[in-house]
Amino acid sequence: MKHIHILKNPVQKYAWGSRTALHSLLDWPEPWEEPAAELWMGVHPKAPSKVEVDGDWRSLVDVIAADPISVLGNDVAKQFLNKLPFLFKVLAADRPLSIQVHPNMEQAREGFERENRNNIPFDAPNRSYKDASHKPECLCAVTRFEAMKGFRAPEDTLKLMDQVFSGTPMKELDPLRKDPNANGLKRFFTSLLSMDRTRQAGVVNDSVLGAQRLAGEDPAFHWLMELNREYPGDVGVLSPLFLNLVDLSPGEAIYVPAGELHAYLSGVGVEIMASSDNVLRGGLTPKHMDIPELLNVVNFTANPVIKQRPLADDDFERVYETPADEFQLSLIVLKDRERFTSRKKRSVEILICMEGEGLIEELDGGRALPLKKGMSIIVPSAVPVYAVSGNITLYKGGVGWGANLDL
């Protein structure tokens, strides 16, 4: 593939998605009856994109496999074994997603090999490892976006828990009172997930009563009640008391490394990640939960949430810096006569137009394509340099600058 091409991308219809958000944001036709949760741009085997080549729609997997160097560039093709290393998404959450964590590379390889040895089918509901890759991710808010990310400081958790359970202190908090550190957090969290159903139902009910009494004093109490409405009696209802709540304004982002417990609660965002589907769940879900493996993967160090704001350069590109080699997210906003020109040395990039319209041109005399809201395109490495003009807002997914690139 030597030129810029239009992409056709699959939509994942999960119960937590929205019937209107993606349609409105991407200027699609009338909403579907089923919730549209995620638009996927990439080559994940579960749902690869298609690319228009000579009038035909072909799988992006096949297009890259036919000529990986022209699409990815020599360095990226070598480092990532001729595969696109990132998955790019637009995500719309009308309901909270499950509490989850992603493994690091070593854990993913071991888990994948273990489940293969145990002959667990790839589509089995009790399969946790779908591939041998880690899954760091970065999410940027398009609308206001609310989430939970990482453990609160132990003293904050104890304060909120004691407020909610003022009449009936939780015995499961004893390890955290004794050791207000990572070890205490692990023992506390393990005890929560190990409750029998009778104990769990009683604790969740007490927490809801306490949160109702405290409503309005802290967002954690609001979200505890909201989660119980969505997942009544689930022990994950308690998570706003021990996980950091984060409220992102449009343009703000969070980076989620391996091992960090998190859950997306509401809003629309653009998300980019290593191309993996490895998820270990710990609550707020009817799906399979492998608790021993979850506890093995989770990092129990308490850390404050760091919101990322993009670093602007002189060419209208605002970059969200992360340590990931597989991906880099950036935002391009152009007005009037402004013009973005790409780097001369670059790898493959996927762009999606979120607002306005414009033009993308190959500056070596190649093709030019009009861009409009909802449209996504792939720019292969073989295109040496390109430019975008117009009144337009684009999100761009590319390979991380930390990768083995000759830039």
| Residue 341: CB atoms within 10 Å | 15
| Residue 318: CB atoms within 10 Å | 17
**Residue that is written with structure tokens 């699959």 in the block:** 10
Catalytic status, residue 367:
no
What does the block give as tokens for 39?
A: 């638009």
Which residues in 185-327 belong to E strands, given as ranges?
A: 243-248, 253-256, 262-274, 280-283, 311-312, 317-320
Which residues in 123-177 belong to E strands, given as ranges?
A: 137-141, 145-151
d(CA 46, CA 43): 8
d(CA 192, CA 284): 13
Q: Could you tell me which of 170, 174, 39, 193 has the C-alpha nearest to residue 101?
A: 193
> What's the one-letter identity of residue 149?
K
The catalytic residue among 95, 152, 281, 346 is 281
d(CA 220, CA 308): 22
The residues assigned a catalytic role are: 281
